[in-house]
Amino acid sequence: MNLGTRLEGAVSLLSEAENKQTFADIGSDHAFLAIEMVKRGIAQNAIAADINKMPLEKGKENASSQGIEIEFVLSDGFDGLENKGLTFAAVCGMGGELIAKMVLRSRITRQCLLVLQPMSAQEELRKALWDNGFCIIKELFAVEGGKPYTLMQVKYDGVKREYDYIDLYLGKERKETAEFLQYREKIKAAAIKRRLGYIAENKDTCEIDKLIGIE
């Protein structure tokens, strides 16, 4: 099964979990990630959770065709997983603001390793995590279909982080890999457009100027 570079990145970060007993893929779509986690022996048990029934039904078909046993749960985020004993989980392919809401409203997320892959509003997700005691242990950047993405390996420790404007948009770990450089160019291009709006509204562009000027 070809997961693509985004989900392969998620697998890489999830494989570093200390406790691999029970994995959950939140917003699992067709359960490809959950299936591969069990198939590759990374997770002892896996749960595919989705807010809609149809993806779960498709996921069941996919798991059956692979001869893989995983659990399927109809759930809005982590809400239906309180008693599942999760030790690690992934939330991939959603907007950053939605991911942040899911993570912050659940107690489960404070007890397991998380891998988060936002499709948008990465800065809002980083802010929510740092403001609420979650450590972004590392970020991995992947390019798929010509588009760059970030994946965050996250663990709750109760410590609020300090950060600046650039950290919000580029993260604190900025290794100049080819994938990160492409991600950075995407962020800078969006910042240039945002700066024009600030100028039109007579807003201070100092922080945006710093972001755009990074070499």
CATH number where 77 lies = 3.40.50.150
Residue 31 maps to a domain: yes
Task: Work out how many domains the chain is built from and give that number.
Answer: 1
Residue 200 maps to a domain: no
- Asked if residues 172 and 163 have their Cβ atoms less than 8 Å apart, the reply is yes
| Token pair recorded at residue 49 | 């959770």
- CB-neighbour burial class of residue 173 (10 A; exposed 0-12, middle 13-18, buried 19+): middle
Low-confidence ranges of the chain (pLDDT < 50): 215
Domain extent at residue 147 = 4-173
List of residues 6+ apart from 132 with CB closer than 8 A? 104, 160
> How many CB atoms within 10 Å of residue 76?
13
pLDDT at position 215 is: 46
Residue 205 maps to a domain: no
Residue 44 maps to a domain: yes
pTM assigned to the model: 0.94
pLDDT at position 173 is: 87
Q: Over the stretch 132-182, which tens digit does the pLDDT of each residue have?
A: 999 999 999 999 999 999 999 999 999 999 999 999 999 998 888 999 999
Residue 65 maps to a domain: yes
